[in-house]
Amino acid sequence: MSLLESVILAIIEGLTEFLPVSSTGHIIIGSSLMGIAAHPFTKVFTVAIQLGAILSVVVLYWRKFLQSLDLYYKLAIAFIPAAIIGLLLDDYIDSLLERVDVVGFMLVIGGILFLFVDKAFESNEENLDQRITYPVALKIGLFQCIAMIPGVSRSAATIIGGLTQKLNKKTAAEFSFFLAVPTMFAATLYKMYSFYKSGQVFTSNEINLLIVGNVVAFIVAIVAIKSFISFLTKHGFKLFGYYRIIVGLIILILYYLGVDLAII
């Protein structure tokens, strides 16, 4: 992986991690187009740079993280389902990360769903009770498990999970951001542990790429989070839905035409 490739992937991560368009799906597409998707370091890199994105959430919402321990308890409960499923299906999930066709289908299916989400949960915006109870946190955590399929989008799954619990878009999106912190931190640690357990070590160049990637992801994610909350509150999900459908269809057309996305 070159420096330019690492910066491109970090920009993709920062832009898409907290948007409902699937960061994993976009990174798979981006790394495939650059011909580096199958490289072992690429798989570690794309998970490790999530730390930069995590830090952006902590920096932007530091006051809420310091308010009380209640938030941490709720995040722990919401995190448990993904932790269990992730450990049980780790190998299968890894096998899906190179399936560009799966990404395409999930982008299209999610996009179609987004066309109807705003109307379906329109009454949530008038709901004055925006408390996130422990049962609500657990249910949102169950929705997060769906995002282990590449192309679904972790933020999309958790935000919609929040909407099903009568939360408005802003509250659901913010809890989705908070839940990303333990989820992505654990995924990064586990991926790093697996990397070292296999007997591999980072070269000095790879360490430099990881540092650059995290810095870039952090800066871009801060901009993305600030913009997303405002956009989602005003315009809803529909434009994200059209975007997902268009990108997903392009991927599927190329895939079934026999175009090798890994060597474009």
pLDDT of 75 over the 60 cut: yes
Cα separation, 182 vs 177, whole angstroms = 10
Amino acid, single-letter form, for residue 109: I
Instruction: State the pLDDT at residue 172.
Output: 93
For residues 57 and 178, the answer to whether their CB atoms sit within 8 Å is: yes
pLDDT (tens digit, 9 = 90+) per residue, 148-198?
Answer: 888 898 899 999 999 999 999 999 999 999 999 998 888 888 878 887 787
Amino acid, single-letter form, for residue 174: E
> Half-sphere exposure (CA, 13 Å, Cβ side) for 125?
12
Instruction: State the pLDDT at residue 41.
Output: 85
Of 137, 212, 156, nearest to 17 (Cα)? 156
pLDDT of 144 over the 80 cut: yes
pLDDT (tens digit, 9 = 90+) per residue, 219-228?
Answer: 999 999 989 9
Amino acid, single-letter form, for residue 33: L
Let me know the angle formed at the C-alpha of 9 by 8 and 15, rounded to the nearest 5 degrees.
90
Amino acid, single-letter form, for residue 113: L
pLDDT of 264 over the 60 cut: no
Cα separation, 198 vs 128, whole angstroms = 51
Instruction: State the pLDDT at residue 186.
Output: 87
Instruction: State the pLDDT at residue 125.
Output: 85
Angstrom distances, CA of residue 248 to CA of 27, 89, 106, 194, 256:
14, 25, 8, 31, 12
For the chain, the average pLDDT equals 88
Instruction: Mark residue 97 as left, alpha or beta (left: phi above 0; alpha: psi -120 to 50; beta: remaining).
Output: alpha
Query: What residues does each domain of the chain span?
Result: 3-263
Of residues 90 and 1, more confidence is placed in: 1
Can you tell me which residue has the tokens 């379906």? 120
Cα separation, 44 vs 77, whole angstroms = 27
Average pLDDT over residues 89-116: 85
For the chain, the maximum distance between any two Cα atoms, rounded to a whole number of angstroms, is 55
Of 186, 184, 156, nearest to 172 (Cα)? 156
Cα separation, 8 vs 24, whole angstroms = 14
Q: What is the pTM of this model?
A: 0.85
Confidence label for 68 from pLDDT (cuts 50, 70 and 90): confident
